[in-house]
Amino acid sequence: MFDRLSVVVSIAGLVATSAKIVSLLKDYDSAMGALESIGQVKAEMQDLNAIFCEVQLFVIDQSTMPKGNRLTMISLHHLLATLSSCVLVCSGVDKYVSRVAGIVDPSGPAGKAGSVLARVQWVAWKEVEVADIIEDLQRHKLSLNLMLSITQW
């Protein structure tokens, strides 16, 4: 059995983290428009943010539904595993984007979006790594979308 409150709190953290990442990446997207990877990560995070909100509403609404509802069609273990993986991926993206944005160390040289150093740091984040992160985000997005589709079937 899972603790519904801890799941809702976890999802709330994912909503906040993904919204923060999207906000930071908006600055970079406009300042460094030539880097397509920034736009891709931002788009995936926006999509995931919306999905996290939907999953949170679904989990909250489960308290009013009778036993034997559509939630039984979804493995709760799979839902929790997917959410745990989302936490890991989003935390990694948040840590990196915050570091490049100068939030972790505001006195550091990467304090402004669009600065030459910020651009170099983003580019230094190898395209292979960015591609892997985008792939992870897409995989989690598809898994959560599928689970939501099953519950609305």
What's the Rg (C-alpha) of the chain?
17
Q: What is the dihedral angle through the alpha carbons of 127, 11, 148, 139, rounded to the nearest 10 degrees?
A: 20
| pLDDT top residue among 148 and 72 | 148
CB-based contact 133:93 (threshold 8 Å): yes
Instruction: Look at residue 150 in the predicted model and tell me its pLDDT.
Output: 80
CB-based contact 49:19 (threshold 8 Å): yes
Question: Over the stretch 84-97, which tens digit does the pLDDT of each residue have?
Answer: 999 999 998 898 88
Instruction: Look at residue 89 in the predicted model and tell me its pLDDT.
Output: 92
Share of the chain above pLDDT 90, in %: 25
| Per-residue tokens: 149 | 């589709």
Q: Does the pLDDT at position 112 exceed 80?
A: no
| Per-residue tokens: 73 | 């069609």
Instruction: Look at residue 1 in the predicted model and tell me its pLDDT.
Output: 45
Task: Please state the pTM of the whole predicted model.
Answer: 0.75
CB-based contact 74:147 (threshold 8 Å): yes
CB-based contact 60:114 (threshold 8 Å): no
Show the DSSP H helices in the chain as ranges.
4-31, 36-61, 76-101, 116-124, 127-151
Question: Over the stretch 53-111, which tens digit does the pLDDT of each residue have?
Answer: 988 888 787 666 555 555 566 767 788 888 899 999 999 889 888 776 666 554 454 44
Question: Over the stretch 44-53, which tens digit does the pLDDT of each residue have?
Answer: 999 999 999 9
